């Protein structure tokens, strides 16, 4: 028994404690060495600098694409005061009419965007006008200021859409564009009538 004062048993217990503490020290030094090695490796830097990107939900790219392409129709109304406000109101009415109306079955198709196109988007942001300061814009005519506002609005919509594609490309190594097809009987009949 250890409590009886046997010196050999006491030495064995001390040696066992020493061994366990040596083992603990050894594992700690190994952990530190691994941390130093991983910290020095280039992959650790990539892991630390990895950017957390927002997830693109299904249909989000399609929604941004529709907004961007629909905003191009503002060029038709470039001389009309309040064109952007009217466009936003008409979009809201159209969405309300779609929600209230008969629901068509829609199918979402994804097509891969060429990597070169996405890389071009990354290097050259969509811009239809040169950026002007507030002072420069104040010196321009009212019609030009309105045109400039429409151009910047369209640029924002296009850049939002392109940014989703760029984020997807950075995250996955490729980007997919979404298109929508409705399953409508009337469309099928009109196609048959054409032939």
Query: CA 101 to CA 91: how far, in whole Å?
Result: 15
Is 154 a domain residue? yes
Domain annotation covers residue 46: no
Assigned domain for 53 exists: no
17 part of a folded domain:
yes
CA distance 172 to 49: 16
In a domain, 104, yes or no: yes
Both 116 and 178 in one domain: the answer is yes
In a domain, 64, yes or no: yes
Residues 72 and 99 in one domain: yes
Residues in the chain with pLDDT values less than 70: 1-58, 78-79, 98, 101-105, 183-195
- From residue 64, give the alpha-carbon distance in Å to each of 67, 95, 127, 157: 5, 14, 17, 7
- Residues 27, 105 share a domain: no
Q: How do residues 26-46 score in pLDDT, each as one tens digit?
A: 556 555 544 544 454 444 444
Helices (H), the chain: 7-40, 42-49, 60-71, 83-100, 115-123, 134-138, 142-172, 185-194
List the structure tokens of 79. 């001389």
Does 170 map to a domain?
A: yes
Examine residue 49 and state whether it is found in any structural domain, yes or no: no
Give pLDDT, residue 37. 41
How many residues make up the chain in this entry?
A: 195
Same domain, 12 and 108: no
- 109 and 31 housed in the same domain: no
Count of structural domains within the chain: 2
- Model's pTM, two decimal places? 0.51
Report the pLDDT value the prediction gives residue 73, as an integer from 0 to 100.
Answer: 76
Let me know whether 29 and 112 are in one domain: no
Q: What one-character DSSP code corresponds to residue 102? A: P
Domain boundaries, position 29: 7-41
DSSP string, 60-94: HHHHHHHHHHHHGGGGGGTTSTTHHHHHHHHHHHH
The verdict on 68 and 36 lying in the same domain is no
For residue 183, the Cα-to-chain-centroid distance in whole angstroms is: 29
pLDDT at residue 23 in the model? 54
């Amino acid at each position: 028994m250890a409590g009886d004062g046997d010196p050999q048993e006491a030495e064995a217990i001390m040696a066992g404690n020493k061994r366990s503490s040596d083992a603990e020290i050894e594992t700690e030094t190994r952990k530190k060495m691994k941390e130093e090695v991983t910290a020095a490796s280039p992959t650790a830097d990539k892991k630390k600098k990895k950017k957390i990107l927002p997830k693109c939900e299904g249909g989000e790219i399609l929604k941004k694409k529709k907004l961007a392409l629909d905003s191009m129709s503002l060029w038709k109304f470039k001389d009309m005061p309040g064109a952007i406000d009217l466009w936003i109101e008409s979009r809201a009415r159209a969405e309300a009419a779609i929600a209230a109306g008969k629901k068509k079955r829609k199918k979402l198709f994804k097509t891969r965007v060429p990597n070169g196109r996405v890389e071009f988007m990354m290097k050259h942001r969509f811009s239809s006008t040169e950026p002007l300061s507030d002072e420069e814009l104040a010196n321009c005519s009212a019609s030009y200021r309105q045109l400039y506002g429409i151009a910047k609005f369209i640029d924002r919509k296009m850049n939002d859409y392109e940014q989703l594609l760029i984020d997807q490309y950075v995250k996955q190594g490729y980007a997919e564009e979404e298109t929508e097809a409705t399953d409508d009987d009337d469309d099928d009949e009109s196609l048959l009538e054409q032939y």
